[in-house]
Structure 1
Amino acid sequence: MIFDDEIELLGRLLSTKAYIVGGCVRNRLMGLDVSDVDVASAALPKEVIEKASPAFSGVLVNERLGTVKLTSKNSGSVYEHTTFRVDSYPKSGRHLPKAVRFTSNLEEDALRRDFTVNALYFEPQSKTVIDPTGGTEDIQKKLLRAADSPEKVFGEDGLRIMRLARFSAELGFSPEEKTFAAAKNNVRLLADVSKDRIWPELEKIFASSEKYPTVSGDNAVKRGLEVLEKLGALRVLFPNFSANEGYLAALEAMPHLAKEARLAALFTSQDDKDVFAYLSDLRCPKCLKEQTANLIALAKTAVKTREDAAAVILKSEKLWKEVALLKRHVTGDVNGADILEKQFSYMSENELPFDVKGLFVTGNDLIKLKIAKDKRSAALKKLLCRVAVDKGLNSREKQLQLLLEEV
C-alpha cells in the first residue's frame, strides 16, 4: 500500500519509528476497507512539521493534543500524526483531557486508547504489528475489550459508551463482560458529553449495516441500539424512552428501512411530546429532524381507504415507501401499508399526477373561474386528491368540470 511507503519515509525523516495506528490497522487485519490513516510516533508536533517538510506539508491541528495534519507532496494522501501521549481527564465524562503529557513510550500511548482492537500499531519498515494490549486476539474472538482498566476507560470519557455500541454494530463484535459492566456503571457520564459529539456516533450506528456489510450483517443497527438500551444509554440520551413493543418492532424493522428512516423508526412508538423534545435536543441536520417528524406523523396517520392513502402519498411522494414500511413493521398497521402500496401502484400505472403541477388545469383557469385567491391552493389540492383515486378524472375537461362545481 502506498501509505506504508510514505509512513516509512516519514519515520526516516523524523529519525524515529512512525507507526500506522488504530482502526486502520484493525481493518487491515480484518480485511476491511481503510479510509482514514492515523499515524503516531514520539516526535513532537513542531518537530514533525519541520522534519517532514521535504515530503509532506504539515499543518498544526492541535498543539496541546500533539496533532498534525500531513499531506504527501507526492500522492496527495492525508495523514493525521499524533505524538505518543498520556492523558489525564476530569471526573466528568466530557471527552476532552484536562492534562496531556507527551511520551516516547508506545505502551503508554496504547493505554490512552478506548479498546484493544483500536490500540494496534503497524510498523511499515518491518511489516510488524505491535500489540501492547491484546487487540489481535480480541479481533479473533470478536470482542470489544477496554484497552486499560474498564472503569478508567469509561470514567475518563463518556463518549466511549457510544463508541462501544457503534463498534459493536459496525464490526459485529460483542462487548467483553467487564467492559460492558464498566460502561453501564458509568452511563450517567453521557449526560456530560457535548451533544455535538453524540449525534455523529448515533448517526454511524444507524448507518452501520452499510459500513462493513461483510462482517456487520443485516442486524448491525439492531445490535448497536440493543447495546445502548441494555447499558441504559437510551434513557440518558432520551429521558422517558420506553423499550416497549414498538421499540422491539423497530429493531427488527431496521434492515428493511433506508438509513434516513431509522431514526423515525426508533421514535415512532414513543410519546409525541417526548419525540418533539428528543428531536429538538439532537444536533442532527434540520432537514433530517423535519423528515423524521413527518415520517412519524404519517406512520401514525390512519389509512383505511384509498382516499386516505392518496392523501399520505401526495403529502410525501418520496417518503411514502418508508411510511408503508413503518406501518408494516413498526406500528403493525399491515392493512394500511397494503392500501398505500396498492394506491401508489394505481397512480403510477395510470400516470396520475403526484402534485398540482401534473394537473391539466392551472392557476389561470382558477382566475378565469373567479375562484377567490385565498381558496385557489385548497381547490387545486382537493382536485388532485380526487384525480389520484379516479383515473377517469385525468383530463382537462373533467378537471374543469370539477372546478366549476366548486364555484
Structure 2
Amino acid sequence: MLKKLIQTLRRKRPHAPPRSTPAVLNARQHNLARDRISRNAVNVVERLQKAGYQAYAVGGCVRDLMLDFDPKDFDIATSATPEQVRAEFRNARIIGRRFKLVHVHFGREIIEVATFRANHPEIDDEDNPQQSSRHESGRILRDNVYGSLEDDAQRRDFTINALYYDPVTERILDYAHGVPDIRNRQIRLIGDPTQRYQEDPVRMLRAVRFAAKLDFDLERHTAEPIQRLAPLLRDIPSARLFDEVLKLFLSGYAEHTFELLLQYDLFAPLFPAAGAALRQQPDYAGKLIRQALINTDDRIEQGKPVTPAFLFAALLWPALPARVLRLQEQGMPPIPAMQEAAHSLIVEQCQRTAVPKRFTIPIREIWDMQERLPRRQGKRADLLLENPRFRAGYDFLLLRESAGEQTDGLGDWWTDYQEVSDSERRQMIRDLSSKEKEDSSGAPRKRRRGGNRRRRGPRSDGSAPSGE
C-alpha cells in the first residue's frame, strides 16, 4: 500500500516542462577559449561528430573555464551509445554498471564519454522488482536510460553543470539557465529539490562541495530540504561515501566545506561519533577539527602531500578520549585502553564510510603515538624518533595542543629534542628524570656518590591528556 501511495504521489507531482530550445551563446558572447580545452577532448568531439553523432564538452570543465579555473578533467556527452563510442576508438573501454561510461585513453589523460541520459520512469515494473531502477525511498539504483540532448540537460544535477560546449562551432548551449547562475554565483538544482535529493542523496554533499569550491551561495529552494533529508545519507553505500569525503576535504577548501556541512546537518551522518563529540564539547572538538582542515588546505595550496589517514585521525579524535577514559576507569592500562577504544571507533566509522585498511592502520598508529610520546625515559625517546610514524604522531600532538589540550610542554620538548645534539639530548633526558623525582618527592633528592652512573627514573603513567 505504501509503495502504491508513493507511486500515486509521484504521478501527481507537477514537473516543469523540458526546455527544448536552449539559450545559445556564440564565441563573442562568452569567455571560454577553445585553446584551453584539452586537445584530446577536442579530438574525441570531432571524431564523434564526423561519425554522425552529437558530441559536446559538458559539465564541470565548461563551468570552470567560464570561471577562469583550470579544469581537473574533461567530460564529453554524446548521442552515441557506449558500444558505439568504443567502436570509434581503439583506446576506449566501457566501465561501470550503475552508470555506463566510456574511458578513452590518451597516455596518462583519460577523456570520459557519457551517452545522453533521460529521466527515469516514475513507476517501475512491479512484476520484475529486481529490474527496478529506484529504491523505495526514491534513490536511483541504475542510470542507463538513454535519451536526447534535451533530456540529458534536464536530468543533470545543477544548472551550472548543464552547459554544453561545442569546440567546433565554439558555441555554448544552456538549457537550464546555468550561465545566469554562474554570473549570480549561486548553486541551483534542476527540478524539484526534494525529489532530486531522494533520487541521489549524495547531491546534498555535491551542493555543499560546489558552494565551498566556487564560493557560491546555495539558492533558497535548493538549500531548504537539506537538513530534513540529511538522514538519507545513511542509505548510501559506505564505499561511495568514503570517496565523497575525500572530495569534500582533500580539494583545498576543507575548512569552508566543514562549516557548510555543520550548517546543513550533513556532518553527523558522515561522522556520527565525531558529530556527538562536537555537540558535547563544541569548543575543543571544533577547534581541533578546524585547525586540522586549515592545515590540510595550506598543504594543498603549497603543493605538499596530504594523507587521508591524518585527516580521519583528526576528524575522529574528539570522540576517542572519552572512550579511553571509560576503559581506564574499568581498570584497563592506558595503552591497551587506547588500542581498544581506537579499534571500536574505527569499526563504527567504517560502517558509515568504508575507510580502507591502508588508512585505518596508520590512523591507529598516530593515535597510539599520543600515548607513547609522554614516555621519554632512557632510550625510549630515541626509539620513538626512529619510529616511521613519529613525524605524524608529533604533528598530531602539536595539533592537539593548538586546540587547547594541556600537555605540560610536551610538544616543545619534542621540538627541541629533534633539533639538539646527542649530548644535549642526554642532558634533556637527565633533566626530565630529575624533574620527575622532584615532582614525586616534593623536593630535590641529593645525588648519591658515584653518581656518574645514571639511574632509571620512576615509571610514568604515560597517560595522554584527554582534552576534556
Q: Which bracket does the TM-score occupy, shorter chain normalised?
A: 0.7 to 0.9
Partner of 2:47: 10
* Equivalent residue number for residue 263 of structure 1: 312
Q: Give yes or no for contact 2:159–2:190 (8 Å, CA) kept in 1.
A: yes
Partner residue of 1:147? Answer: 190
Question: 2:96 and 2:217 mapped to 1: Cα distance?
Answer: 33
Q: Quick one: which amino acid aligns to residue 324 of structure 1?
A: L
* Contact map agreement 1:45 1:63 (CA 8 A) in 2: no
- 1:211-247 CA-to-partner distances (Å, cap 9, x unmatched) read xxxxxxxxx2122122222332232233352222223
Structure 1 portions without partners, runs of 5+: 210-219, 354-384, 392-399
- Aligned partner (choices 239, 259, 268) of residue 272 of structure 2: 239
Change (3 A) 1:21 1:324: same
**Is 2:42 aligned against 1:32?**
no
1:397 match: none
Q: Which residue of 2 aligns with 1:161?
A: 204
Change (3 A) 1:57 1:251: same
Tell whether the 8 Å contact from 1:312 to 1:320 is kept in structure 2 after alignment. no
> In structure 1, the residue corresponding to 2:155 is in which secondary structure?
coil
Structure 1 window deviating more from structure 2 (151-160 vs 252-261): it is: 252-261
After superposition, the Cα gap between the structure-2 partners of 1:3 and 1:99, relative to the gap in structure 1 and judged at 3 Å, is: closer
Matched, 1:389 2:421: no
What amino acid is the match of 2:285?
A: Y
1:20 corresponds to: 57
- C-alpha separation in 1, matches of 2:40 and 2:214: 24
Deviation at 1:127, TM superposition (A): 0.9
Structure 2 distance, partners of 1:203, 1:265, is 14
Structure 1 residues 76 and 283, CA gap change in structure 2 (3 angstroms): closer
Amino acid at match of 1:57: N
Aligned counterparts of 2:141 and 2:164: Cα–Cα separation in 1: 22
CA contact under 8 A between 2:41 and 2:111: conserved in structure 1? no
Q: Which residue of 2 aligns with 1:197?
A: 240
Change beyond 3 A, Cα 1:175–1:300: farther
* Letter in structure 1 aligned against 2:102: V
Is the CA contact 2:248–2:254 (under 8 Å) kept in the aligned structure 1? yes
Asked whether 1:83 is paired with 2:115, we answer yes
Alpha-carbon distance between aligned partners in 2 of 1:180 and 1:312, rounded to the nearest angstrom: 52
1:101 is matched with which residue?
145
CA displacement at 1:169 relative to structure 2: 3.2
1:275 maps to what in 2? 345
Q: Is contact 1:120-1:132 (8 Å) kept? A: yes
Task: Determine whether 1:70 maps to 2:76.
Answer: no
Judged with a 3 Å threshold, the aligned counterparts in structure 2 of structure 1 residues 59 and 232 are, in CA distance, closer, same or farther, namely same
* Contact residue 114 and residue 146 of structure 1 kept, 8 A: yes
1:364 alignment counterpart: none
Q: Secondary structure of the residue that 1:186 maps to in structure 2?
A: helix
**Closer/same/farther in 2, CA of residues 246 and 264 from structure 1, 3 Å limit:** farther
CA contact (8 A) 1:39 1:81 kept: yes
Q: Quote the offset at 1:195 in angstroms.
A: 0.4
The alpha carbon displacement at 1:296 in A equals 4.1
Q: Is the 8 A contact 2:99 2:143 kept in 1?
A: no
Partners of 2:233 and 2:456 in 1: CA distance: 61
Residue 102 of structure 1: SS of its match in structure 2? coil
Report the Cα offset of residue 293 of structure 1. Answer: 3.2
> 1:93–1:155: 8 Å Cα contact kept in structure 2?
yes
1:224 matched to 2:257: yes
**1:67 touches 1:81 (CA, 8 Å); kept in 2?**
yes
Shift of the alpha carbon at 1:301?
A: 7.8
AA of the residue aligned to 1:19: Y
Q: Residues 47 and 167 (structure 1 numbering): CA distance in 2 closer, same or farther, change over 3 Å?
A: same
Aligned CA RMSD, in angstroms, stands at: 3.7
TM-score, reference length from structure 1: 0.73
CA distance in 1, matches of 2:370, 2:180: 45
Report the Cα distance in structure 1 between the residues aligned to 2:61 and 2:249, rounded to whole angstroms.
22
Amino acid at match of 2:316: F
Q: Cα offset for 1:263?
A: 2.3
Distance 1:187 1:312, change over 3 A: farther
Output the TM-score relative to the length of structure 2.
0.64
Task: Report the alpha carbon displacement of residue 48 of structure 1 after superposing the two structures with TM.
Answer: 2.3
After TM superposition, list the pairs within 5 Å mapping 1:314-333 onto structure 2. 314=385, 316-330=389-403, 332-333=404-405
Cα gap change, 1:19/1:13 in structure 2, threshold over 3 Å: closer, same or farther? same
For 1:285 and 1:99, locate their aligned partners in 2 and report how far apart those are by CA, in whole Å. 27
Task: Give the secondary structure class of the aligned counterpart of 1:85.
Answer: coil
How far off is 1:124 after superposition?
0.9
Tell me what 1:137 maps to: 180
CA distance in 2, matches of 1:390, 1:162: 53
Q: Deviations over 1:117-157 (max 9, x none)?
A: 22221111111221211222222333221122211211100
Task: Please state if 1:340 is matched with 2:340.
Answer: no
Unmatched segments (≥5 aa) in structure 2: 1-34, 121-132, 300-305, 324-340, 432-451, 458-468
CA contact (8 A) 2:139 2:198 kept: no
Give me the identity figure in percent: 23
| CA contact 1:299–1:327 (8 Å) conserved in 2 | no
